[in-house]
Amino acid sequence: MDTTLQDPLVGQLLDGRYRIEARIAVGGMATVYRAVDTRLDRVLAVKVMHPALAVDVSFVERFIREAKSVARLAHPNVVAVFDQGAQGAYVYLAMEYVAGCTLRDVLRERGALKPRAALDILEPVLAALGAAHRAGFVHRDMKPENVLIGDDGRVKVADFGLVRAVGTATETTGSLLGTVSYLAPEQIEHGSADTRSDVYACGVLLYEMLTGAKPHTGENAAQVIYQHLNSDVPAPSAAVPGLPVALDSLVASATARTPEVRPHDAVLLLAEAREARAALTEAELDALPPRALSEAHDGADDRTSVIARALPAEGPGEDGGVHRTSRLQMPPAEPARRRGPRRRGPFAGPHRRLITVLTAVLLTLGVGAGVWYISSGQFTQVPSLLGQTQQAAEQRITDAGLGLKGVERVFSDTVERGEVVSSDPAPGDRIRGNGSVQLVVSRGPEIVRVPDVAGGSLADARRSLKEVGLAPGMVTREFSEDVARGEVIRTDPRAGTDRRPDTAVALVVSKGSPVDVPDVTGLSAREATAELAAEGLKAEVLPGRVHSPEDAGNVAEQSPGKGAEAAEGDTVELTVSQGPRMLDVPDVTGRDVGAARSALEEAGFAVKVERPFLSFSDTIARQSVQGGEQAPEGSTITIRTKGL
């Protein structure tokens, strides 16, 4: 059964505009769906943040802010962001839909690529990154999964900037292992990333495209991280002999462990890539890499064959059924030359090798030819049962000479009530002629009612939602005169609403009564802290001081500022002044008033003009601070015109 059909969003109209048609992919941060924009009648991709991440308000705000920034990055090789919004517990992005596959799919299927193909993919990736780098963006998570290759051949980079909203992964899952394979040493060691970190990841991408394998591998993330920090990325030609030196140099330049040695950004790496391409001959560009060097993939050149099995394997397959094929490693090819004479007989040459292979197949399957022949008549196949009514399914089981082991009933959003969801063994599986089949029959869709959690704590509300089968969603906070701080005000959807299981429910939590933030600029840090405490607020003096008109040691800036509303117990950040900067005062005597005013204002001062009684001159005779002396930034310089 297709579990994607059980997704609560599939078939829904999100935000009154986007009709969710199918689930495309699930990642650590969000789920991506194919959808239709009902206003513009176009297909697009909608990325919906996981409820577990939507709980963090600061995360959501940063996600939205950076999504808006990326939406301004218009480039033909960047997946465009069209819209952003939220509906209840669902925070989403509407993006360009790219029909095709990812670079990971290509590498998994083909292994190493020809140099021309690798450069044809790398160059548009670098063009996209270069445009982003020059616009002030850093991708931070370049990997084959984020390189999309459309059916029309266009190459696009996905998830620009959004990865900065994601926290550090803490579990050594396969996805983490895949991600750390492309992290630059400075990202691992210091947690910092800039344009050169993206350059490093692109160097690893190029290595993988040229060789079909990652440069650093291991059984866990820690081993890969250690290699990033302590070992250079090897030359691709070490894995694939015959690759041109120009490609080795390009990979070495991009993956230098010291950031300062790498090209500063993708624009410069793109220039190096084009120089490397120009240095290669047509034959070198189209050289076919040895497939044996590639990672595991299916292809005609592999030295493995897929052999049909006579009996089911012992373990379940990825689809929940039983594997019906077994992979058999073929024997190595015979040498082209032999020192002695070749012996021939009835089983020599190809016939002998064929018998050897067939014997190996039977031994691999764990059965002999005689055992297969004797046992074949004792088995039958489970008839087709899925989608049948329970009565019809039971009749089919009986007609096949099988018994009914039992009937289990489960909720299902996709299978009509009373119809068969699945069976054990599955339809088509081999089963002994006197065996029994277990049926799983649909009870129809399950409906969950949103509980009333208003007035309780956030922890209690989350617990209550989980108990009834709902998912605690995004948490927002707002002021309330009636509900105590920390208690739930309401849910979205509201209490009493019927929803499907696992639907995310947003929670609105009280911040208590609002407190007006007082103005504490100009006060000493101690005085400011005391005044804030009197209002029920906390003070945090930030490290470092700034130049300001305030006296040294007094508060220069505060956040939030005067007049803002805060909740009792909230923290106000204070920045302390180190006094105004002292600036050189220009000499403006002898100039006219306009020129003098401009010169002083450009130097960072305010200007006051004085004219003697009955003076009609515009020429400056004196200034309150002489030219060449210093005065505090922002202070007022008085200039006086000539008298009669």
pLDDT tens, residue by residue, 112-129: 999 999 999 999 999 999
Tell me which CATH homologous superfamily contains domain 101-161+168-302: Transferase(Phosphotransferase) domain 1 (1.10.510.10)
Report the topology of domain 582-641: Trypsin Inhibitor V; Chain A (3.30.10)
Q: Give the pLDDT score at 558.
A: 94
Interatomic CA distance for residues 181 and 161, integer angstroms: 19
Angle at 19 between CA 18 and CA 22, to 5 degrees: 120
- Does the pLDDT value for residue 321 go beyond 80? no
- pLDDT above 60: residue 130: yes
For residue 164, what pLDDT is reported?
45
Confidence check: pLDDT of 160 > 80: no
Q: Which residue has the tokens 């202070």?
A: 635
State the pLDDT at residue 68.
76
Peptide bond into 215 cis (omega under 30): no
Tell whether the model's pLDDT for residue 544 goes beyond 90.
no
How confident is the model over 106-115, as pLDDT tens digits? 998 888 999 9
Omega of the bond leading into 76 within 30 degrees of 0 (cis): no
Give the E-state strand segments of 215-366 in sequence order. 304-308, 325-329
Give yes or no for a contact between 132 and 160, defined as CB atoms under 8 angstroms apart. yes
- pLDDT beyond 50 at 175: no
Say what percent of the chain tops pLDDT 70. 82
> What residues does each domain of the chain span?
1-97, 101-161+168-302, 378-442, 448-512, 515-577, 582-641
For residue 100, the model assigns a pLDDT of 85
474, pLDDT greater than 80: yes
Of 206, 200, 204, nearest to 243 by C-alpha is: 206
Which tokens hold the place of 209? 């495209």
Q: From the CA atom positions of the chain, what is the Rg in Å?
A: 35
The answer, yes or no, to whether residue 50 has pLDDT greater than 90, is no
Give the integer Cα–Cα distance in Å for 198 and 182: 9
Q: What is the pLDDT of residues 475-491, one digit of tens each?
A: 998 999 999 999 999 99
Per annotation, catalytic residue among 15, 37, 56, 141: 141
Mind giving me the DSSP string for 301-345?
Answer: TSSEEEEE-SS--SSB-TTSSB--EEEEEPPPPPPS--SSPPP--
**CATH class, 378-442 region:** alpha beta
Alpha helix stretches (DSSP H) within 95-182: 103-110, 115-134, 174-180
Spatial distance between the Cα atoms of 642 and 644, rounded to a whole number of angstroms: 7
What is the pLDDT of the chain when averaged over all its residues? 80
pTM of the complete model: 0.49
pLDDT at 6: 67
| Predicted pLDDT of residue 78 | 92
pLDDT tops 80 at residue 375: no
pLDDT at 379: 66
Which residue, among 165, 167, 172, has the nearest Cα to 225 in the 3D structure? Answer: 172
pLDDT of residue 458: 94
| Within this chain, domains 515-577 and 582-641 share the same CATH topology | yes
Q: Which of 50, 13, 18, 14 is nearest to 31 (CA)?
A: 50
Tokens of 213: 């394998």
With contact defined as beta carbons under 8 Å apart, do 53 and 132 qualify?
Answer: no
Percent of the chain with pLDDT over 90: 46
pLDDT above 70: residue 176: no
Asked whether residue 505 carries a pLDDT value surpassing 60, the answer given is yes
pLDDT in tens, 573-598: 999 999 888 999 999 999 999 999 99
Q: Which of 384, 414, 409 is nearest to 397 (CA)?
A: 384
- CA-closest candidate to residue 577, choices 592, 556, 607, 549: 556
Residues 16-42 have pLDDT tens digits of: 999 999 988 877 678 899 999 999 889
SS3 for 474-534 is EEEEECCCCCCCCEEEEEECCCCCEECCCCEEEEEEECCCEEECCCCCCCEHHHHHHHHHH
193: pLDDT confidence band, cut at 50, 70 and 90?
A: confident
Q: Check pLDDT > 80 for residue 538.
A: yes
**For residue 4, what pLDDT is reported?**
46
58-62, 76-80, 242-246, 282-286: least confidently modelled range: 58-62
- 515-577 folds as Trypsin Inhibitor V; Chain A (3.30.10)
* pLDDT, average across residues 293-311: 32
Arithmetic mean of pLDDT, 546-565: 91
At 389-408, the pLDDT tens digits run 999 999 999 988 899 999 99
141 annotated active-site: yes
pLDDT higher than 90, residue 169: no
Residue 52 vs residue 324, higher pLDDT: 52
Regarding predicted confidence, which is higher, 344 or 495? Answer: 495
In degrees, rounded to 5, the angle at the alpha carbon of residue 350 between the alpha carbons of residues 347 and 353 is: 75
Neighbours of 401 (CB within 10 A): 10
**Which of 418, 321, 336, 430 lies closest to 375, judged by CA?**
430
CATH of domain 448-512: 3.30.10.20
- More reliable by pLDDT, 84 or 55: 84
380 bridge partner residues: 431
> Greater confidence, 297 or 410?
410
Domain 1-97, classified CATH 1.20.1250.20, yes or no: no
